Amino acid sequence: MSLHALPPRILGWLDRSFLCEVPTAARRLALTFDDGPDPSRTPRVLELLARGGHTATFFCIGRNAERHPTIVAEAAAAGHEIANHTYSHPLLPLVSRRRLLEEVRRTEWILTGLAGARPTHFRPPMGWATPAILRRVAEEGYRAVLGTIYPADPRAPDAETIIERTVARLAPGRILILHDGSSRGRPRERTLEALPVILTQMEARGLRGVSVRELIGPAAVTAGPVRDRPPAVAPGSR
């Protein structure tokens, strides 16, 4: 589900509640990948990023990280940020407070052991969260992240559609949501086909892909609101 059609009041709440974009004069945007690691796709994503000198944030599902620990460790060693995307990818508004905390804390324990650092960013599965969920996640020490560019790559009919939906919105400070894995084992070949073109188009515009951590780091130069700012978007159903 895209949030573009929601009322301004709801979009305003999203912008206040989630990190969706970072106003910056630096020529960089955050690349984020959800639902991995995946042994057949994540290594290819890492290879493409390394080729162009880009970094990214990987919002990992805990049980996938548990199954493929070496990939998480290799991504962290290469300078990528490892972030929390719950253990089993549930729809959080439908689970209990206890289950929410179990999902977050179990994944944190796994990722900390594999990456050598505690994750600090969190993305709710399918982008769905309530104010109460966000308060609890913040109490656990996390900042919730969505984004401003979401080409709906899991549901796109082809790579060309993903490219078209992404390239038109590339700009400094924005956060791009893509998928290197799946909570249900679904293929992500279209994303892999689109990614080299997206990276090439970024480079042609003088943009470098970075992690969310780096985008908001001390090197970011604040330059006021981004012009023609798109609304926040959430991943929606996958």
Annotated catalytic residue 179: yes
Residue 217 exposed, middle or buried by CB count within 10 Å (0-12, 13-18, 19+): exposed
Instruction: Summarize the confidence of residues 172-189 as an average pLDDT.
Output: 88
Q: Where are the beta strands (DSSP E) in the chain?
A: 28-34, 57-60, 81-84, 121-122, 143-144, 175-179, 208-210
Tens digits of per-residue pLDDT, 71-96? Answer: 999 999 999 999 999 999 999 999 99
Active-site option among 34, 35, 38, 153:
34
| 178 vs 107: CA distance, rounded Å | 20
| 56 vs 211: CA distance, rounded Å | 4
Q: Tell me whether the omega of the peptide bond preceding residue 23 falls within 30 degrees of 0, making it cis.
A: no
Active-site option among 68, 80, 85, 179:
179
| 25 vs 221: CA distance, rounded Å | 5
| 1 vs 67: CA distance, rounded Å | 29
| DSSP sequence for 32-89 | EEES---TTTHHHHHHHHHHHT---EEEE-HHHHHH-HHHHHHHHHTT-EEEE--SS-
Tens digits of per-residue pLDDT, 113-146? Answer: 999 999 999 999 999 999 999 999 999 999 999 9
- Tokens found for residue 73: 């460790």
Residue 225 exposed, middle or buried by CB count within 10 Å (0-12, 13-18, 19+): exposed
If one counts every other C-beta atom within 10 angstroms of the C-beta of residue 90, the result is: 17
188 pLDDT band, cuts 50/70/90, is confident
More confident residue, 12 or 114: 114
Phi, psi of 124 (to 5 degrees): -70, 140
Residue 25 exposed, middle or buried by CB count within 10 Å (0-12, 13-18, 19+): exposed
In this prediction, what percent of the chain has a pLDDT beyond 90?
80
Annotated catalytic residue 34: yes
The pLDDT value recorded for residue 3 is 44
